Amino acid sequence: MGKFTNTTITKTVDSLVTGINHRLDSPFYNWTDKHPTKCTFYNVNDTKTTLDEGHRQVSVVMCEESPSRHIKIDGVLLYGIEKITTDLDVGDYGLETGEITGEAILPPNSFIPYPDSYFTIDQITRGKYWFRVTKVTPGTLETGANFWKLEYSMDDIGDEVEPRVVKNFQYIADNVGSNYKVVIEDESFQFIQRLEEVCDTLRNYYLKLFFKDCLQTFVYYYQDAYFYDPETIEFMIRNKIMDNGEPSKYLFVDQACYLPDTFPIEYDRCIYRFVEKRSKKYCFRRYYGLVIDDPMSLLTTRLEDYYMVTPNPHLKLLAEPIETFSEDFIGAMLQGNEFNGEKEFYNIIGNYFNNDKPLTDSEIDSLESMDFQPNVELYHIIPVIIFILEEEIRKLICLKDSAKKLL
């Protein structure tokens, strides 16, 4: 007998409506009929500008002695700038043109623009056209997000002088409408880029060291045997460790053999789960090797045996416990032990669990100079280091309430 309270159709309709709403909520949806223009924006810094309202002319602002201060933001996308056509004449003061005015839209959650700011259009390569923001009008989307309508006029042509800049920022268009900062200070941006490059390097090295094409998974060689660690694989799956955001380099990671129904319980007790929770309340466990005999796994198609790493001693086929995480890792995690020289990268783990100190250039350098060998230590530690570095990146770009006030 069918259910009289079946809500399948209602849930399907709700799902479709929710999907449409997500598309409508996109900060770019309202301006799909307008082309984006990449600009360099010089936003007025009111806290450091001492220019009176009555003296905000271009001749005053665009000079080295100007009391006006600006924040330079590279890569800003403005929507709705119409094609600019000008008639240039050579006058007493160089190139002169007729009045050019227009309107543009700054997407929501970017930064707060101010009147008397300036921008140049990156695509214009024959000299700089300086556009002054004459009026700023806030607007609100149905989602509650604030956008900005800018009115502008062209004030000057030339690249000899630009507004006085006190800070430099980068505009990250991909972060518009997300919980991440759209505008990031240059130093932080360059540091984030370096962390991303190091993560990519670690991924590439990890693939070279431990990934076997014939098995389509990651294994390591230890004490004359091959081992497969499902907890390491699960950690990589849950945290997308091998996903660098580029579809062309995407690698599908999945468990390579059958796991018992109790595996999620075992994972909650493993060290990787405590890494995810940033908790030191870890109880040390011994691990053993269980020969893999799953007929549906590629691991059983090879001539050599492969052993699954398991904390269940009653299943063991290798009498002696096997090493997973090194004593150095445990010491850094639980006690915050400090390291120098070739093992300085362990300080990244120690700080993550104990101090929450910012990463240093020396620690990053130590990652790049690691002795990359296909051993049990690197098999387990590299995914953890990638996880910590990506957490650091998220912390640097996480949107805070004070971020918008910065500009």
Segment 300-314, tens digit of pLDDT: 999 899 999 988 766
Q: How far apart are CA 223 and CA 63, in angstroms?
A: 71
Task: Decide if 321 contacts 269 (C-beta within 8 A).
Answer: no
Are the CB atoms for 158 and 94 separated by under 8 Å?
A: yes
**Domains of the chain: which residue ranges?**
25-178, 188-397
Residue ranges in the chain whose pLDDT is less than 50: 1-2, 4, 20, 22-24, 50-56, 58-60, 401-407
Return all residues near 225 (Cβ < 8 A) that are at least 6 apart.
289, 305, 307, 318
Q: Report helix, strand and coil shares of the chain as percent, to nearest 5.
A: 35, 25, 45
Helix axes 376-397, 186-210, angle to 10 degrees: 160
pTM (predicted TM-score) = 0.79
Q: Strand pairing partners for 256?
A: none
What is the rounded distance in angstroms from the CA atom of residue 118 to the CA atom of residue 57? 12
Q: Would you tell me the crossing angle of helices 346-354 and 361-368 to the nearest 10 degrees?
A: 140
Beta carbons within 8 Å of 295's beta carbon, 6+ residues apart: none
For residue 119, give both structure tokens: 């921008």
Give the side-chain half-sphere CA count within 13 A for 135.
6
- Which pLDDT value is given to residue 20? 44
85-94, Cβ contacts within 8 angstroms, sequence gap of 24 or more: 86/154, 88/157, 94/157, 94/158
pLDDT tens digit sequence for 37-90: 899 999 998 765 544 444 445 444 555 555 678 999 999 999 988 766 555 555
DSSP bridge pairs for 372: none
What pLDDT is attached to residue 29?
54
* pLDDT given at position 179: 81
Instruction: Output the pLDDT for position 147.
Output: 85
- End-to-end, the C-alpha distance of the chain in Å comes to 64
